[in-house]
Amino acid sequence: MIAEIRDEILLGGHISTAGGISKSPERAAVFDFGSMQVFTKNQMQWRAKPLPDEEIDRFKENRTKFNIRRVMAHASYLLNLATQKPSLQEKVRASFAEEMRRAIQLDIDYLTIHPGSTGDSNINMAVSNVANMVNEVTEIPGRTMVLLETSAGQGHTVGHRFEELALMLDQVEDKTRVAVCFDTCHVFAAGYDIKSREGYGETMDNFDSVIGLNKLEAFHLNDSKKEMGSRIDRHEQLGEGLLGAEGIANFILDKRFRGKPFIMETPKGELGYSEDISVLDNILKGMSDES
Ligand SMILES: [Zn+2]
Ligand SMILES: [Zn+2]
C-alpha cells in the first residue's frame, strides 16, 4: 500500500488475544497496522478474571514497541445498553463498567459498543437507557472514550438511523468521552447508499447535519454479504461483497478522514487481512494513476 496514505488512515484489524492481550500488538504489526481492535475479555461471558499487572505493563510496552497508534476495545456482545428489564440492566451496568475499567487500565483509546435492542419498548426509552449507561461509565476517571457503533437495524436494534445515534449523544453529559464508530457494512445494510459517489456524498452530508462529522471518531471497514437496506449484519472480505471496492474506495479516498482508525472486521480475520490490504492497495494505485 502506498506508504504515506496508509500511515495517514491508520489501517487496522480485529486481532486475537490468544495467549494474553500483551501478544496482540505484535500480531497487528505483521500487517503494519497503525490501529487495532481487541476484546479485553471473553466476549461471550459476563465476568472476567482481573488482568495481572505484569500483563498490563507488557501490553503497553508492546503497543509502543510495535507503534500501534490507536487501540479499540470492543465490548461484549452480551451487553444490551437499551434493555428495559431491571434485572438485566444491573448485569449490563456492572459488566460495562468492568469493561471500561479494563480499557482504562490498558490505556486503550476507545471502548466500542453496539447500542443494543429495544424488545417491544419505544425508541425514546431505549435512547435514554443507552445514554444513562454511557453516563455512568464515563464518570469513571480515565481517557478512554465510548464509541457507539452504527447498527445494521437487524431485529429491534437501535442506532441504525443517524437520528437515533444523535438522540443518544445528546443525552450524554460528558461530550468529550463519547463519539461514533461508523461500520461501513452496517450503514450499508441499514439502507444508506454509500456505494455510489453521489450516494456517499449525500450520506456523509446527512451524517454531518444530523450528528456532526466531528463526532465520527473511527470506522469499522467491512464489506457486506447482504444488499443495501437488507438490515442484516453479515460482514464480507473487502471487495468481495455488495458494497464492493467502489464503496470501500469512497471512504479510503476521503481526505477528511485521514488520521482516523479504519479497523477491519472481515470474516477471515488475520488469515484474510493480506488479501484485504491488496484490495486497498489497488484502490490507492488507481488514485495515484488519476493524479
Ligand atoms: Zn463493527
Ligand atoms: Zn457487524
Q: Phi/psi zone of residue 67: left (φ > 0), alpha (ψ -120 to 50 degrees), beta? A: left
Question: Ligand 1 center to residue 5 CA distance, Å?
Answer: 23
Mean pLDDT of 120-136: 92
Q: Domain of 38: which CATH number?
A: 3.20.20.150
> Would you place residue 43 in the very low, low, confident or very high pLDDT band (cuts 50, 70, 90)?
confident
Mean pLDDT of 245-253: 97
Closest CA to 183 of 222, 157, 144, 153: 222
pLDDT of residue 240: 98
Question: Ligand 2 center to residue 278 CA distance, Å?
Answer: 22
> Would you place residue 290 in the very low, low, confident or very high pLDDT band (cuts 50, 70, 90)?
low
Which-ligand-closest: CA of 188?
A: 2
Q: For 133-185, what is each residue's pLDDT tens digit?
A: 999 999 999 999 999 999 999 999 999 999 999 999 999 999 999 999 999 99
Question: Ligand 2 center to residue 58 CA distance, Å?
Answer: 30
Mean pLDDT of 253-271: 97
Question: Ligand 1 center to residue 49 CA distance, Å?
Answer: 25
| Cell output for 117 | 435492542
Question: Ligand 1 center to residue 220 CA distance, Å?
Answer: 5
Supply the range of the domain harboring residue 107.
3-290
Question: Ligand 2 center to residue 76 CA distance, Å?
Answer: 13
Report CA dihedral (162, 168, 174, 176) to the nearest 10 degrees.
Answer: -10
Q: Amino acid identity, residue 286?
A: G
Residues 110 and 70: beta-carbon distance below 8 Å: yes
Total domains in the fold of the chain: 1
pLDDT of residue 288: 66
pLDDT of residue 8: 83
Q: Average model confidence (pLDDT) for the chain?
A: 95
Which-ligand-closest: CA of 221?
A: 1
pLDDT of residue 47: 86
Q: Phi/psi zone of residue 174: left (φ > 0), alpha (ψ -120 to 50 degrees), beta? A: beta
Q: For 64-118, what is each residue's pLDDT tens digit?
A: 999 999 999 999 999 999 999 999 999 999 999 999 999 999 999 999 999 999 8
Whole-model pTM: value is: 0.96
pLDDT of residue 19: 95
Name the more confident of 47 and 2.
Answer: 47
Question: Ligand 1 center to residue 43 CA distance, Å?
Answer: 14
- Phi, psi (5° rounding) for residue 220? -100, 120
Question: Ligand 2 center to residue 186 CA distance, Å?
Answer: 6
With a pLDDT cut of 70, the percent of the chain lying above it is 97
Residue 291 has pLDDT above 60, yes or no: no
Question: Ligand 2 center to residue 35 CA distance, Å?
Answer: 18
> Would you place residue 122 in the very low, low, confident or very high pLDDT band (cuts 50, 70, 90)?
confident
Beta bridge partners of 264: 13, 221
pLDDT of residue 74: 98
CA angle, 241 then 244 then 247, to 5°: 135
pLDDT of residue 119: 76
Task: Please write down the HEC assignment for all residues of 255-285.
Answer: HHHCCCCEEECCCCHHHCHHHHHHHHHHHHH
Closest CA to 200 of 176, 177, 178, 228: 228
Question: Ligand 1 center to residue 149 CA distance, Å?
Answer: 7
Question: Ligand 1 center to residue 147 CA distance, Å?
Answer: 11
